[in-house]
Amino acid sequence: MKIYIFADLEGITGVRCRGHVLKDQPEYPEGCGFMAGDVNACIEGCFLGGADEVIIRDGHGSGINLDPATVDPRARLIQGATPGVRYAEFEGTDALILLGYHAMAGTPGALLEHTYSSKAYQNLWLNGIRAGEVMIDAAIAAEHGVPVIMVSGDDKTRAETAKVLPTVPFCQVKSSSGLEQSESLAQEKAHALITAMTAGAVKRHHEFKPFTVHYPVTLRIEMIERCQREGLTGVKYPDPTDCRIYEKSADNLEKLFYELL
C-alpha cells in the first residue's frame, strides 16, 4: 500500500507567524523543525496503519523546507519544483494525506490564511464554488483516482474541510483567532494524535472515495493586483469591467491549474 503525504507548513503544529513560513526570516528554521515533527509523526502512522511505501512531498513555497536528515528514512522525500505536476511520482498511490494545511484566502480569524499565494491571488472558484487549497488539491488528486484520507491543520481549516470532504477525518493540531494568533497543542500531544489518526485513516483507506469533479471543469481566479493573464488563450472575463477576475474551462484540472496560476 502506497501512501502519499503532501506537506504544507502553515497548518503544522507550533507554526504561528509569518516568520515561520518565510525563508528569509530568523524564525524559519524553527518552522521547518516543527514541520519535520508532524511529518515524522504522520510517517509513523502510515507504517502502523499498514503502508509499505510512503512518499513525502515537501509542498510549501519552493518545495525545499525539510532537512532530509530530520525525516524518517523509511519514507521517500520529494523536494523542489516539479513543473506542471502537483504530485510527483503519484503513480500507484492508494491514498493521499494533506498535512499542515491552512484556510483559504479571506477566512476570518484564520492563521496565515491564503490560497496558493498571498501575494497573487485573492479568490479561486472551482466550478463556481469558492475554493481553498484543500478542495483544489483534493480535486487534482481525484483526477488521478486518489482519495484524500486525512487532513491536518487548525480549526478554521477543519471547518473548510468539513464542507469539502465531510467524511474525511481532520486532525486538528491548533486553533486560531487571527493571522498570527493561534494556540497549538503541545508537540508531544499533537504528534501522538497525528500518528494515531493517520494509522486509523490508512487502515480504512479503501472506504474513502476520490473527490467528485464535474467536467469540463472551470477555474475562476481573482488576482490581488492587476491582471497579468491577458495573453492566455481561451480565458474569459466574467465581469467586463474587472480584468483581475478571469476564468477558463478545460478537461484537465491539473493542466488548467498550472496554466492559470
List of residues contacting Zn ion (CB under 5 A): 8-10, 60
Instruction: Output the smallest distance, CB 200 to Zn ion, in A.
Output: 26
Instruction: Output the smallest distance, CB 136 to Zn ion, in A.
Output: 13
Closer Cβ to Zn ion, 116 or 237, answer by number: 116
Pick the closest to residue 140 from 15, 260, 252, 25 (CA basis). Answer: 252
Closer Cβ to Zn ion, 57 or 205, answer by number: 57
121 φ, ψ to 5°? -120, 130
What is the rounded CA–CA span in Å between residue 258 and residue 86? 9
Task: Report the residue count for the chain.
Answer: 261
Instruction: Output the smallest distance, CB 10 to Zn ion, in A.
Output: 5
Closer Cβ to Zn ion, 12 or 142, answer by number: 12
Instruction: Output the smallest distance, CB 29 to Zn ion, in A.
Output: 16
Closer Cβ to Zn ion, 124 or 202, answer by number: 124
Q: Which residue sits closest to Zn ion, CB atoms considered?
A: 60
List Cα–Cα distances, 257 to 100, 105, 127, 152, 254, in angstroms.
21, 17, 13, 23, 5
What is the rounded CA–CA span in Å between residue 16 and residue 100? 12
Give the 3-state secondary structure of residue 255.
helix
Instruction: Output the smallest distance, CB 237 to Zn ion, in A.
Output: 29
Closer Cβ to Zn ion, 10 or 154, answer by number: 10
What is the rounded CA–CA span in Å between residue 213 and residue 237? 22
Closer Cβ to Zn ion, 8 or 160, answer by number: 8
Are the C-beta atoms of 190 and 13 separated by less than 8 Å? yes
Instruction: Output the smallest distance, CB 74 to Zn ion, in A.
Output: 25
Instruction: Output the smallest distance, CB 8 to Zn ion, in A.
Output: 4
Instruction: Concatenate the DSSP letters of all residues of 189-239 into one string.
Output: HHHHHHHHHHHHHHHTGGG--PPP--SSEEEEEEESSS---TT-TT-B-SS
Q: How many C-beta atoms surround the C-beta of residue 230 within 10 A?
A: 10
Closer Cβ to Zn ion, 49 or 153, answer by number: 153
Q: How many C-beta atoms surround the C-beta of residue 79 within 10 A?
A: 17
